[in-house]
Chains A and B, each alone.
Chain A
Amino acid sequence: MKTIAERQQEVIEEFSIFDDWMQRYEHMIDLGKSLPLIPVEYKTEDNIIKGCQSKVWVHADLEKDQLVFTADSDAIITKGIIAILIRVFSHQHPKAILEANTDFIDEIGLKEHLSPTRANGLVSMIKQIKMYAIAYQTQLN
């Protein structure tokens, strides 16, 4: 199993082949389109994060000692970034999730989407991922 840092490095390398923003965005849109849909039973009001701009749904399950995330958004670019975040943080131990950061998003040139002024729900989604990690970490102890 790859660590969060290794997966982040993979994402950085994957994005490094693109020369301009259009290629980066097209890739992100493709990632968004290929993200498995969140099961209907989890697409609930409880799991919704209301940004001013786009909505985000996020749900976590514990499988053995690993957290598995499913998520969705009504905006495709937001969904693309969700796909990247899930790739990095899903199937990881809660402790590893709590210790990780999201600086790699800056390195792939998508920093602006994690700005609180965008109000797209992603900042809250990362908080929510960490909250799940705290909750399940306590359960594992």
Chain B
Amino acid sequence: MFDVTKIRADFPILSRKVNGQPLVYFDNAATSQTPTQVIDVITDYYTRLNSNIHRGVHKLSQEATEAYEAARQTVQKHFNAAHAHEIILTAGTTESINLIASSYTGLLKAGDELIISALEHHSNIVPWQMLCERTGAQLKVIPMTPKGTLDMQAYDALLNSKTRLVFVNHVSNALGTINAIEEIINKAHAVAAEVLIDGAQACPHIKPDLQALDVDYYVTSAHKLCGPTGVGMLYGKEALLNKLPPYQGGGEMIATVTFEKTTYADLPHKFEAGTPNIAGGIAFGAALDYMNSIGFEAIASYEADLLNYATTKLKKLPGIKIYGESALKTAVISFNVMGLHPYDIGSILDQMGIAVRTGHHCAQPIMDYYQIPGTVRASFSFYNTKEEIDQLVEGLQKAIIMLQ
């Protein structure tokens, strides 16, 4: 049974005050808050287990290794990957994307085509632009529609035999649009192109089944789903990851080293050079366990209710314009009040203890499309409440009076 009061008690930060007011945290799309169940795992690791993994013969190292590898299996099961060694634990979504972009350098040639979408975060644009500069490949962009969805007919027209890779986010960070990734993946496969899906914004709300999606690469970050910062996932199909050259050289990723020739370790270690974020990896597993204990169906239906409630209430405010009106979206509302600057609104809400995001959300092409400097973005999580949304609406009413 979904009990938000009980859930909120798991998050110590939700009871703190900001500027003398109880915190209302609506910046969940930037980072989610951390429950005691995850904080305790991090504390326990440094209290009881701390040691280096995969190479010690001593007890602590063995226990830490077991905990780290158990976390990898938790991640594998959560995302329904075929093998645990298809899960590469990285520093996060950005590193996962850069790993793939770097590893494809030798596999692409001038004239090859890569497709991204107009809804991408800068982290899913810039690494591919850099890859194109290195290889002479060309970047094509799936355009967006006024509702903030992707123009799928235009996507069809972009696909051809020169298409090698397609990169699209599962959910847009700036607008909350859920993209039709099944269709995107199937159509890319029809021209023998590979697909990377950026799941950073989807995973807090949706539990993707990677084998059912038949996706080639899927990346995400732990800190968006109640885990710590500095850890994330790169999923890749075994056959593809085996074909790719290593990303970084160092310890852990080798089989044998001589000055003449080094051979590389098997998956996943080939892509995990150096001592990893051990506590972070273990806590990533704990975060998924925590979210699964609440249940993604319960989370989705509760958040859909919050989104409807907030959308209806916000639309009643004078001069409000909501960006991103896809029929399928996560609990994110990106908006402006006509004539007011998002920075001013965000600053006043902050004085009332309400945390929202303002600016271009690292998605400048979307802001350029709408010809706006940025938006105010309120992003909700399963631990938020309708009472908090009421406070946001009251806060906005005050801000509008003050600023006009």
Residues on A facing B (Cβ under 8 Å): 21-22, 25-26, 29, 52-55, 74-78, 112-113, 119-120
Known: A53-B342, A75-B344. A29 touches B373 (CB 8 A): no
Chain A contacts of B402 at CB under 8 A? 22, 25-26, 29
Which residues does chain B contribute within 8 Å of A55, judged by CB atoms? 373
Partner of A78, one of B340, B343, B350, B351: B343
The interface residues of chain A, by DSSP majority, are classed as helix
- For B20, the closest partner residue in chain A by CB is A21
The digit string for B328-362, where 1 denotes a CB below 8 A from any CB of A, is 00000000000011111011101100000011100
- Tally inter-chain residue pairs, CB-CB below 8 A: 44
Contact with A74, one of B359, B373, B403 (Cβ below 8 angstroms): B373
Would you give the shortest CB distance from B21 to chain A, in whole angstroms?
Answer: 10
| B148 on interface, CB distance cutoff 8 Å | no
Taken together as a complex, chains A and B put the C-alpha atoms of A81 and B351 apart, in Å, by 16
User: Is the pair B351, A76 in contact by a Cβ cutoff of 8 Å?
Assistant: no
Report the bound CA distance from A56 to B315 in whole Å.
31
Please state if B344 and A52 are interface contacts (CB–CB under 8 Å): no
Question: Which residues of chain A are within 8 angstroms of B344 by Cβ–Cβ distance?
Answer: 29, 75-78
In the bound complex, residues from chain B placing their C-beta under 8 Å from that of A26 are 402
Could you tell me if B342 and A76 are in contact, using CB atoms closer than 8 angstroms? no
Q: Are A21 and B403 in contact (CB under 8 A)?
A: no
User: Contact at A75–B341, with CB atoms within 8 Å?
Assistant: yes
Instruction: Decide if A119 touches B359 in the complex (CB within 8 Å).
Output: yes
Q: Which 7 A-B pairs have the closest CB atoms?
A: A75-B341, A75-B343, A53-B343, A54-B343, A21-B351, A77-B344, A53-B359
Q: Tell whether B19 is near chain A: CB-to-CB under 8 Å.
A: yes
* Whole-angstrom distance between the Cβ of A24 and the nearest chain B Cβ: 9
A112 to B360, CA, bound (A): 20
Q: List CB contacts (< 8 Å) of B43-95 with chain A.
A: none
Residues of A within 8 Å of B343, CB to CB, are 53-54, 75, 77-78, 120
Nearest B residue to A52 via CB reads: B359
B227 within 8 A of A: no
A residues in contact with B398, CB < 8 Å? 22
How distant is the Cα of A77 from the Cα of B398 in the complex, in angstroms?
15
Can you offer 18 A-B residue contacts whose CB atoms are under 8 A? A22-B351, A25-B347, A25-B351, A25-B402, A52-B359, A53-B342, A53-B359, A54-B341, A75-B343, A75-B344, A76-B344, A76-B403, A77-B343, A77-B344, A77-B347, A78-B343, A113-B347, A120-B343
Q: Say whether B35 faces chain A, with CB atoms less than 8 Å apart.
A: no
B374 close to A (CB within 8 Å): yes
Enumerate chain B residues within 8 angstroms of A78, measured Cβ to Cβ: 343-344
